[in-house]
Structure 1
């Protein structure tokens, strides 16, 4: 096989959660540009409509599904809708996530549960449903969990995001555990750990700490709009077929500083 063919995704079906904006939309764009038939899901219909128009303007085939992943009983319906449209799902990108900032001693119960439900529970329930109904029967699939470098270490002073950091560490070990169990079904499960990227979620933090964050990273920059595209295509394609249970930090070297 020619090396270019290893990266081809023509005709594959990819479901990307939390893809109406930010990093999710960037990854949807990357997969669509490589030939995927893209399905994006998020909570807000207006943001999904904007994202769809953005992708279609680039010649990408896209469907949108409004869905709140914290309503776990609706996950089978979401998967069923994708299967009704395309018949199967080749690639799942578990990108939707939430954070909340508060000192650990004052952390609200509701905030803890909100972060854990979206960042830990929903990716498992969604992967379980897609695995059972599509990937395991077809003996083929790529699952990409969007973790974070926040799951690799403790918190820098002033961040106070204990639930987010805990959830992203869980995401990394969820990736390892599911990869161990589903490798026999020819399903690859890997994680991407982004560092600091400008986004709605990180806006408040970057407003306070951007200079310090940039100074700490060996490459002295934040992540940009193109910086997740190559890695998500790699992990979704046959170029990574002998890689599973791994995480890749995309952080300008921040996690080694």
Structure 2
């Protein structure tokens, strides 16, 4: 179990005000990590941070829009000043705006790419400035099933989302190669469809549910907690020789 122990580590979780971000924060706390909870909705973060602190986990809430460079720079500075170090970054913040490619506005495209890809780079860049002098760091990006798989337009139109998550996969590889010399690993998790605030409209649609049951070998959506094992593996010393990887957690979707 010591391989997965995060006692004394400081973990930053973006998009921590709901959904997978909350789950990830709990998973890291259970292994002993202190938490910097980052998102736009400060009221939700404050409540979550209070819950963690009441249970003995050190946690702070940091308001930040993952699409704005100046807010990212300020957030990382605040976290570093508070904890003195940053050991783990979970780039979870994301949006899933969709529209048919032929109708898609540049505004929608820019929003999806700006948060899902550019935001991941900017957070990684700023946190790396803390990790490099430490000679230690773990960066975990949220890729997707759609990092390497598209979907029929008859089911959904996700060109911007696919482009952003495909970019996350290659950004993960590139940063891993660049920062390996500093003992920083950079990996990604590639979930299929899991219930969350972002996917509510899809997973609650009966037609889409039937599509997933037919398309996914396991015949179902992901369940709460089924991403936690990969998260803790990448966040801990168990993955000390693993970098540049995207681990698909998709019920076998990519096998067919």
Fold-level similarity (TM above 0.5): yes
Q: SS of 1:223's equivalent?
A: coil
Q: How many residues align?
A: 253
Distance apart, 1:56 and its partner CA: 4.1
Task: Give the whole-Å Cα distance in 1 for the aligned partners of 2:215 and 2:56.
Answer: 39
Structure 2 unpaired stretches of 5+: none
Distance apart, 1:39 and its partner CA: 0.8
Distance apart, 1:36 and its partner CA: 0.1
Matched, 1:256 2:255: yes
Task: Give the whole-Å Cα distance in 2 for the aligned partners of 1:12 and 1:251.
Answer: 29
Task: Give the whole-Å Cα distance in 1 for the aligned partners of 2:222 and 2:56.
Answer: 25
Structure 1 unpaired stretches of 5+: none
Equivalent position of 1:236 in the other structure: 235
Query: What is the TM-score with the length of structure 1 in the denominator?
Result: 0.95
Task: Give the whole-Å Cα distance in 2 for the aligned partners of 1:29 and 1:96.
Answer: 16
Give every structure 1 segment of 4 or more consecutive aligned residues whose post-TM-superposition deviation is greater than 6 Å.
Answer: none
Deviates more, 1:57-66 or 1:234-243: 57-66
Task: Give the whole-Å Cα distance in 2 for the aligned partners of 1:104 and 1:194.
Answer: 23
Q: CA RMSD in A?
A: 1.3
Equivalent position of 1:221 in the other structure: 220
Equivalent position of 1:245 in the other structure: 244
**Change beyond 3 A, Cα 1:255–1:59:** farther
**Change beyond 3 A, Cα 1:53–1:218:** farther
Equivalent position of 1:31 in the other structure: 28
Matched, 1:137 2:133: yes
Distance apart, 1:127 and its partner CA: 0.8
199, 202, 212: which one pairs with 2:199?
202
Equivalent position of 1:87 in the other structure: 84
Query: What is the TM-score with the length of structure 2 in the denominator?
Result: 0.95
Distance apart, 1:53 and its partner CA: 4.2
106, 110, 114: which one pairs with 1:109?
106
